[in-house]
Amino acid sequence: MSTPVLLRFADLERLGIVRNRQQLANLVKEHGFPTGWLLSPNARVWDEPEIGAWLERRRGRPLAASDALTTA
């Protein structure tokens, strides 16, 4: 069994997916971004393949007005 690759919030920032926690909350609420899960009481993580799948679903979608607000 291989060790899963887990991403923290800082990794999402480094990858250019989010810039702040409010943007992350908007992506979860309005765009189906994975909520991740708590590794410990203060550490939320995301599975790398789950993030990759979300990005693939977003690829090629027309940019909606609400998207422009969350990515600006």
pTM for the model stands at: 0.78
- Cα separation of 30 and 6, whole Å? 23
- The predicted-structure confidence for 11-64, as pLDDT tens digits, reads as follows 999 999 999 999 999 999 999 999 999 999 999 999 999 999 999 999 876 655
* pLDDT higher at 66 or 28: 28
| Banded pLDDT at 6 (limits 50, 70, 90) | very high
Cα–Cα distances (Å) from 62 to 38, 54, 59, in that order, read 32, 15, 9
pLDDT of residue 71: 46
